[in-house]
Amino acid sequence: MMENNQTPSPAPVPEVSPAAVPAPAESTAAPSPALPVIPLRELPNAPLLHKGFQNLFRLGIANIVINLLNNTFKLGDKIPALGIVLSAMSFAVSVLTLFVLWKLSAAVPRFRKAVYFNLLPLIVLPFVTLFNISSGQEWIMASDVSAILVVLIILLGLVFLFATLAAYHQLTACAEAFDGADDAMAAKWRSLCTWQVVIIGALGAFLILILLLTLSSASFFYFYNGSLTVLLLLILAIAIALGVVEIIELVYLNRSAKLFE
């Protein structure tokens, strides 16, 4: 008999159950606590900033009162002796303001730039005062009107340029005093800075525009068709807006001083 050669069947492959993947263990570590907010009055420079903002507020009030008496009510013109006193007081307030800003630069270095841009007009002012009135009249009579207007345009442009830069650095420094400690107050100072820079720049631009129109051959058209009146009304509106911004600045100075108290 012949043996049947049967092919052996392959051994069955055992089923492998899928390995259970362990679920990631939930982290039992507690979330890191938020950094505590240090009150403004507990900051290292709080006493310096409190006193500085308070002094700036007081000097701002004094400056407004002097300007009202001297420029609005014209007491200096009515009483010459009082005019000299008011001018001396205005100069003293300006010097004291620079001194306060310089002390504040120990806490916020940007205040030092505000001092520099405010200092240059203060240095030039005595030299302008020493300019003899009679000599000035002789120079005006001997000079061409166009040359005088060009000089006025240059001087006016420089005055408003330095005033704009001084306002920008001073108000930005006030904002930097609150950075990281009171961002809402810092944002208010920066918003005020933007408005004040725009208003000062616009006021200077319109005043220079009037001088340029006077210098140009188109001045006849602007003087006699009423456009000059519109420009003057715009300048008046900008001046009023500048006064409002300065009052808001005083409010912020008073509030800042109280926050650091």
**For 182, left (φ over 0), alpha (ψ -120 to 50), or beta?**
beta
Q: What is the DSSP string of 34-46?
A: PPPPPPGGGSTTH
Residue 2 has pLDDT above 70, yes or no: no
Query: Which domain does 243 fall in, by range?
Result: 44-259
Give the confidence band of 198 by pLDDT, cuts at 50, 70, 90: very high
Tell me whether residue 64 is in a domain.
yes
Tell me whether residue 100 is in a domain.
yes
Report the pLDDT value the prediction gives residue 122, as an integer from 0 to 100: 76
Report the pLDDT value the prediction gives residue 139, as an integer from 0 to 100: 53
Tell me whether residue 193 is in a domain.
yes
Tell me whether residue 212 is in a domain.
yes
Residue 135 has pLDDT above 80, yes or no: no
The stretch 94-105 carries a mean pLDDT of 96
Of residues 177 and 232, more confidence is placed in: 177
Q: CB–CB of 161/197 below 8 Å?
A: no
Mean pLDDT, the chain, integer: 81
| pLDDT (tens digit per residue) in 9-68 | 555 545 544 444 455 545 455 555 544 567 888 889 999 999 999 999 999 999 999 988
| pLDDT (tens digit per residue) in 137-165 | 555 555 566 777 788 888 888 889 999 99
Q: CB–CB of 181/43 below 8 Å?
A: yes
Tell me whether residue 35 is in a domain.
no
Q: CB–CB of 56/97 below 8 Å?
A: yes
d(CA 234, CA 156): 18
Q: What angle do CA 211, 223, 162 make, to 5 degrees?
A: 20
**How many angstroms from the chain centroid is the CA of residue 20?**
66
- Work out how many domains the chain is built from and give that number: 1
**How many angstroms from the chain centroid is the CA of residue 52?**
16
Report the pLDDT value the prediction gives residue 128, as an integer from 0 to 100: 57
Question: Exposed/middle/buried for 91, CB within 10 Å: 0-12, 13-18, 19+?
Answer: middle
Tell me whether residue 28 is in a domain.
no
Report the pLDDT value the prediction gives residue 37, as an integer from 0 to 100: 63
Percentage of the chain modeled with pLDDT above 90: 45
174, 170, 194, 195: which is closest to 186 by C-alpha?
A: 174
Tell me whether residue 25 is in a domain.
no
Tell me whether residue 195 is in a domain.
yes
Q: CB–CB of 203/239 below 8 Å?
A: yes
Q: CB–CB of 49/83 below 8 Å?
A: no
